[in-house]
Amino acid sequence: MSSPANSSAFSRAVQLRHLRCFVAVAQERHLGRAASRLSLSQPAVSKTLGELEEMAKSQLIRRTIEGRRGMLGLTDAGERLLSHSIAVLDAVGAGGEALSTSSPSAADSLRLGVLTCLCAGAMPRSLSRLLEQRPALQVTVETGSNLSLMDALRAGSLDVVLGRMSDPKLMQGLSFELLGIETLAWAVRPGHAFCGSTPPLQTLLDQTVILHPPGTVPRQRADTLFAARALAAPARIVETSDFTLARAMVLRSDAVWIAPRYAVEEDFSQGSLVQLSVDAAGTDEPVGIFRKVGKPNLSSVEHLAQLLREDFKKLP
């Protein structure tokens, strides 16, 4: 697509169905899931993607060795085309919304669900940028657990959800686009005795430790880490899912807070909390965007998704 002749030929030949197919494949990272999202057969998706690659004179996705159904990611050409494809589909969607008479306010509203521990960091930055670029947009944000937000998305009371990847059985009717991998982080106040050192994990657990309550994903990840490394459970635990309370306790004591990384990323970058050097391997959890399969996305949803992709890429 680099030569003027190729660019002109591509522009004349490409159709919206090619771009919709490509964006779905890029976001789903799997041809079968993209086919389900588009309500097409998998061979139809493969054929459409092949047509697009022929027009582009470039391979756009890196396929797995098992075949054409799975994929390893986008090629450099695919990465370059993706943002432009999304912009085109956003513009078409916005035009359709502007012309709609049945729902005149659809272009001006967004109902966003956010997992509580993802309310800090990238999400507010992306949302602020969205509102700067769409000053007329009215946004309603609902926070809660992963399950409750996924149920609300399926029921149609939310347009999009930022959450944590769940059991496939619980994600029926939803698509998931990966944005990042979240680990647990160990946070203390500035000036804490452990700042700048790497104490043994058991020594850390001999302090007052702030943890999520039993039954939550962050607590399950922490308990799994303790068991995998043959560590005794903390003797003094404060259990809370309230980030305001946990943050205030850490700042006023020598407690150690074991928290989802994205929830405290901004605290670390601003220096209000200090991250201890602890190997958190094994606590990884995929985080990303949920959409309802078969529901046409509002242009504001795709606009926010693009901003989230950009902001999550900037996270350590």
**Which residues on neighbouring strands pair with residue 159, listed in sequence order?**
none
pLDDT at residue 104, rounded to an integer = 41
User: For the segment 235-281, what is each residue's pLDDT rounded down to a tens digit?
Assistant: 899 999 999 999 999 999 999 999 999 999 999 999 999 999 998 88
Length of the chain: 316
- Give the per-residue pLDDT at 61: 87
In order of their start, the domains of the chain are 1-99 (1.10.10.10), 103-179+284-316 (3.40.190.10), 184-283 (3.40.190.10)
Collect contacts of 103-109 with beta carbons under 8 A, ≥24 apart.
Answer: 105/138, 106/298, 107/298, 107/299, 107/300, 108/136, 108/137, 108/138, 109/137, 109/138, 109/139, 109/140, 109/300
How many alpha carbons fall within 13 Å on the CB side of residue 285? 26
Residues of the chain scoring pLDDT < 50: 1, 101, 103-106
> 297: which DSSP letter?
P
pLDDT of 66 reads 54
pLDDT of residue 99: 64
Report pLDDT for 101: 47
Which residues face 178 on adjacent strands?
288
Amino acid letter for position 99 = L
